[in-house]
Amino acid sequence: MKFEQYPFEKLTELLKDITPNENYELSALTIGEPKFETPQFIQDELKNTTSLLQKYPASAGLPELKEAMLSFVKNRFNVELEMSEIIPTFGTREVLFNFPQFALFDKKNPVIAFTNPFYQIYEGAAIASRAEVIHIDLLKENNFKAELSDEELKRCDLVILNYPNNPTSAEMTKEELGLWVKKALEFDFILVNDECYSEIYFDENNKPVSLLEASIEVGNSSFKNVLVMNSISKRSSAPGLRSGFIAGDKNILEEYMQYRTYVGCASPVPLQKAAAVAWNETSHVDEFRKIYKRNFELAYEILGVKAPQATFYIWLEVEDELEFTRNLYREKNIKVLPGSFLGRNGIGKGYVRIALVENEKKTEEVLKRLKDFIDG
């Protein structure tokens, strides 16, 4: 089993011979990890429940955690799920990696399609599943929206979408996602949307939609062949809690739950307790959104970059993403991620991904540094 190098490993190699300008403090805009303290009420719940470390955590998750997640889905997307339609997971990285292996195990010649550029776990899951990959190329010409021909879709066993999208920040409408649901039913493949950035949005009147909403909209209220994944990491600035879920088709989830009892990735009880209070609370998320919104206002003022509907990424078009990255690090001590490290077959070439995950003061300083570099 041979996996590709992770993008951050490639970045380390790209920059290894460069001495950055010591007149500036290092600014790493590479990883999608919020740089804000996890809210105190979440930390307190974790501290207050450490005695529960004496208990083995159940693979199915605490009922109160599932209830909190169901409440989140109801309040955010107006979708009422049953207990059998959701499974708490240890973040979403593990489920994105092992669910395809579960789903494709019985397929003789499995085929998986996913958006390109992509979160590298999708590719890792395909490799571990011995699956053929069809890349769903996201280009400026198609507004970074997922498209595949019927001929390609007929071959698919599993399709992974990612909207709001990492790294392009693109969105898809309920109607557009609904067309994908119809195709999943027509050609009988499993359709997953990775919705981890659904809560980093900037317009209350134009929130990202869920694939679950789209499924109901086209009459698939049982979510046949439809699943979503979401996480608390970005929403609550709590990636260390490792709290996510997979939700949708209960028939698929029933079998997947049995598989998960063997995987052994149940979240420790104190983490589940802390996650439950986080999923149930929304005001702290509003505060984080205000910070990200201000960061994009600064990006527009300084770089002329229009704010996306969601996520905290700038997908910046440049002439040569590798030289841009190397020279930016050398001259301004800023690290960004070349888009070609996130894609295959030339997709991502000519772009860099910039993560605006710092506070306003740091963001303003580094964006001015970046502007100075671009203006040369």
Residues 6 or more apart whose Cβ sits within 8 Å of residue 357: 29, 31, 32, 33, 34, 35, 312
Amino acid identity at 271: L
Write the DSSP assignment of 172-240 as a string of letters: --HHHHHHHHHHHHHHT-EEEEE-TTTT-BS-TTSPPPPHHHHHHHTT-TT-TTEEEEEESTTTTT-GG
List the structure tokens of 126: 């395909």
C-alpha of 248 from chain center: 18
Q: Using CB atoms within 10 A of its CB, is residue 24 exposed (0-12), middle (13-18) or buried (19+)?
A: middle
* Parts of the chain belonging to CATH 3.40.640.10: 51-281
35 within 8 A of 358, measured Cβ to Cβ: yes
Residues 6 or more apart whose Cβ sits within 8 Å of residue 292: 200, 202, 312, 356
- The correct answer on CATH 3.60.150.10 for the domain covering 7-37+284-375 is no
pTM score of the predicted model: 0.96
What pLDDT shows up at residue 1? Answer: 85
C-alpha of 93 from chain center: 9
Mean pLDDT across the chain, nearest whole number?
Answer: 97
Kindly report, residue by residue over 4-19, the tens digit of the pLDDT.
999 999 999 999 999 9
Region 296-308: mean pLDDT is 96
What pLDDT shows up at residue 376? Answer: 83
May I ask the CATH class of domain 51-281?
Answer: alpha beta
Examine the pLDDT at 162 and tell me if it is beyond 90.
yes
252 within 8 A of 190, measured Cβ to Cβ: yes
* Parts of the chain belonging to CATH 3.90.1150.10: 7-37+284-375
